[in-house]
Amino acid sequence: MVWVKRLSLLVAGLLAIVVLLLAYVMLFVNPNDFKDELKSVALEKANVSLRLDGDISWSFFPWLGLSLENIGVALGTDAEIVQFDRAEFGLAILPLLEQKIQVNKVNLVNLKASLNKDAQGQGNWQLDLPSETSEAGSANAPSAPAATSDTTASAVADTATNNATGKVKLPDIQLDELRIENAQVQYRDEQAKQLINATLNVQLNDVQWDKAWPMVMDIAVTQSDLQGQSPMSAKATLNANLTVFPERESLSLDSLVVSTELEGEALPTSPLSAKLSAMTLDVDLPQENVLIEGLALSVLGVNIDAKIQAYQVLSEPQFSAVVSLGEFNPRYLMTRLKLPLPDMSDDTALTKLMANVTLEGSLNSITAQPISIILDDTSIEANAEVALSPLRWDVNVAGANLNLDRYLPTPVEPVDNQGEAVSSAPQEGGVEGAETAETAAGELIPVELIRSLNGHVGILFENIIVKKLKIDKVEFDSTQANGLVLVSPLQAELYKGTVSSNVRLDVRGKTPVLSLTPTVSALQIQPLLVDFMDMDKVAGATFLNGELKTSGNRIDDLMSGLQGDLLIEVKNGALVGTNLTKTVCEGIAAIRKESIDEKQFGPDTPFETLRFPAYIVNGQVSTPGLQINSAGIQVTGNGVVSLPDSSLDYQANVGIAGSALDNACRVNEKVIKLAFPIVCKGQFSDDPAGLCRPDIKGFGQLFADLAKDELAQKAAEEKARLTEKLEAEKARLKTKAEAEKARLKAELEEKRQAEEERLKEKLKDKLKSLF
Mind listing the pLDDT tens digit for each residue in 652-669?
776 666 444 445 455 555
Q: pLDDT at residue 492 above 80?
A: yes
Q: Are 677 and 653 in contact (CB under 8 A)?
A: yes
Q: Are 610 and 572 in contact (CB under 8 A)?
A: no
Q: Considering 694, 709, 740, which residue would you say is the last residue of a domain?
A: 694
Residue at 661 is within a domain: yes
Backbone angles phi, psi at 548, to 5 degrees: -130, 150
Residue 386 burial (C-beta neighbours within 10 Å; 0-12, 13-18, 19+):
middle
Average pLDDT over residues 518-530: 84
What is the structure's pLDDT at 387?
92
Q: Using CA atoms, how far apart are residues 88 and 63, in angstroms rounded to an integer?
A: 12
What is the structure's pLDDT at 647?
77
CA count, 13 A, side-chain hemisphere, 270? 12
Q: Using CA atoms, how far apart are residues 614 and 679, in angstroms rounded to an integer?
A: 19
Q: Are 674 and 706 in contact (CB under 8 A)?
A: yes
Average pLDDT over residues 669-695: 65
Average pLDDT over residues 97-122: 78
Residue 47: which of 70, 71, 21, 75 has the closest Cα?
A: 75
Highest mean pLDDT among 229-238, 351-360, 538-547: 351-360
β-bridge pairing 469-481 and 633-642: unpaired
Residue at 308 is within a domain: no
Going by pLDDT thresholds of 50, 70 and 90, the confidence category of residue 420 is low
Q: Using CA atoms, how far apart are residues 75 and 130, in angstroms rounded to an integer?
A: 12
Helix/strand/coil (H/E/C) assignment for every residue in 635-669? EEEEEEEECCCCEEEEEEEEEECCHHHHHHHCCCH
Going by pLDDT thresholds of 50, 70 and 90, the confidence category of residue 170 is low
Going by pLDDT thresholds of 50, 70 and 90, the confidence category of residue 636 is confident
Chain centroid offset of residue 629 CA: 47
Going by pLDDT thresholds of 50, 70 and 90, the confidence category of residue 9 is low
Q: pLDDT at residue 258 above 70?
A: yes
What is the structure's pLDDT at 238?
92
Backbone angles phi, psi at 368, to 5 degrees: -115, 105
Taking CA atoms, 20 is separated from 6, 23, 26, 305, 552, in Å, by 21, 5, 10, 62, 98
Q: pLDDT at residue 416 above 90?
A: no
Domain containing 7: what range?
Answer: 1-127+171-208
What is the structure's pLDDT at 240?
92
What is the structure's pLDDT at 701?
56
Taking CA atoms, 130 is separated from 39, 79, 94, 754, in Å, by 16, 19, 39, 188
Q: pLDDT at residue 381 above 90?
A: yes
Residue at 739 is within a domain: no
Taking CA atoms, 523 is separated from 465, 496, 542, in Å, by 17, 6, 5
Number of C-beta neighbours around residue 410 at 10 A: 9
Q: pLDDT at residue 135 above 50?
A: no
Of the listed ranges 33-37, 263-267, 303-307, the least confidently predicted one is 33-37
Does 31 or 227 have the greater pLDDT score? 227
Q: Are 659 and 669 in contact (CB under 8 A)?
A: no
What is the structure's pLDDT at 138?
44
Residue 583 burial (C-beta neighbours within 10 Å; 0-12, 13-18, 19+):
buried
Q: Could you report the per-residue pLDDT of 150-166, keeping only the tens digit for each?
A: 444 444 444 444 444 45
Q: pLDDT at residue 582 above 80?
A: no
β-bridge pairing 484-494 and 172-189: unpaired
Rg (the chain; Cα; Å): 54
Taking CA atoms, 689 is separated from 20, 601, 680, in Å, by 121, 13, 10
Backbone angles phi, psi at 214, to 5 degrees: -70, 145
Q: pLDDT at residue 604 above 90?
A: no
Chain centroid offset of residue 524 CA: 30
Q: Could you report the per-residue pLDDT of 728-746, keeping only the tens digit for each?
A: 877 877 887 777 777 777 7
Average pLDDT over residues 577-598: 69
Q: Is 33 helix (H, G, I), strand (E, B) or coil?
A: helix
Number of C-beta neighbours around residue 455 at 10 A: 17
Q: Is 133 helix (H, G, I), strand (E, B) or coil?
A: helix
β-bridge pairing 378-388 and 676-683: unpaired
Q: Using CA atoms, how far apart are residues 559 and 1, in angstroms rounded to an integer?
A: 109
What is the structure's pLDDT at 216?
92
What is the structure's pLDDT at 372?
95
Taking CA atoms, 589 is separated from 345, 584, 679, 680, in Å, by 49, 9, 17, 19
Q: Considering 208, 235, 264, which residue would you say is the last residue of a domain?
A: 208
Of the listed ranges 205-209, 365-369, 640-644, the least confidently predicted one is 640-644
Of the listed ranges 150-159, 453-462, 492-501, the least confidently predicted one is 150-159
What is the structure's pLDDT at 745?
78
What is the structure's pLDDT at 440?
39
What is the structure's pLDDT at 260?
92
Element (DSSP H or E) covering residue 296? strand 289-299
Highest mean pLDDT among 170-184, 263-277, 343-357, 617-631: 343-357
- Cβ-Cβ contacts under 8 Å for 176 (sequence gap 6 or more): 103, 104, 105, 205, 206, 207
What is the structure's pLDDT at 246?
85
Does 110 or 427 have the greater pLDDT score? 110
What is the structure's pLDDT at 702?
55
What is the structure's pLDDT at 296?
94
Count the domains in the chain: 2
Residue 499 burial (C-beta neighbours within 10 Å; 0-12, 13-18, 19+):
buried
Q: pLDDT at residue 108 above 70?
A: yes
β-bridge pairing 692-694 and 676-683: antiparallel
Residue 670: which of 625, 716, 702, 715 has the closest Cα?
A: 702
Q: pLDDT at residue 483 above 60?
A: yes
Residue at 221 is within a domain: no
Taking the CA atoms of 347, 349, 354 and 360 in sequence, report the sign of the dihedral they define.
negative
Average pLDDT over residues 555-581: 81
What is the structure's pLDDT at 762?
76
Residue at 523 is within a domain: yes
Q: Could you report the per-residue pLDDT of 196-247, keeping only the tens digit for each?
A: 999 999 888 888 888 888 989 999 999 888 887 878 888 999 999 999 888 8
What is the structure's pLDDT at 657?
60
Residue at 752 is within a domain: no
Q: Are 541 and 527 in contact (CB under 8 A)?
A: no
Does 703 or 278 have the greater pLDDT score? 278
DSSP state of 97: G
Q: pLDDT at residue 456 above 90?
A: yes
Residue at 600 is within a domain: yes
Query: Angle, to 10 degrees, between the axis of helix 696-770 and the axis of helix 580-592?
Result: 60
Does 627 or 356 have the greater pLDDT score? 356
Report the percent of the chain where pLDDT is more than 70: 70
What is the structure's pLDDT at 714?
72
DSSP state of 348: T
What is the structure's pLDDT at 118?
84
Q: Using CA atoms, how far apart are residues 183 and 109, in angstroms rounded to an integer?
A: 7
**Helix, strand and coil percent figures for the chain, each rounded to 5:** 30, 45, 25
Average pLDDT over residues 675-690: 69
- Cβ-Cβ contacts under 8 Å for 591 (sequence gap 6 or more): 696, 699, 700, 703
Task: Round to the nearest angstrom and report the end-to-end CA distance of the chain.
Answer: 229
Of the listed ranges 145-154, 276-285, 530-539, the least confidently predicted one is 145-154
Element (DSSP H or E) covering residue 768? helix 696-770
Q: Is 679 helix (H, G, I), strand (E, B) or coil?
A: strand
Q: Using CA atoms, how far apart are residues 573 and 608, in angstroms rounded to an integer?
A: 6
Chain centroid offset of residue 405 CA: 15
Q: Considering 667, 694, 721, which residue would you say is the last residue of a domain?
A: 694
Residue at 275 is within a domain: no
Q: What value does the mean pLDDT of the chain take?
A: 76
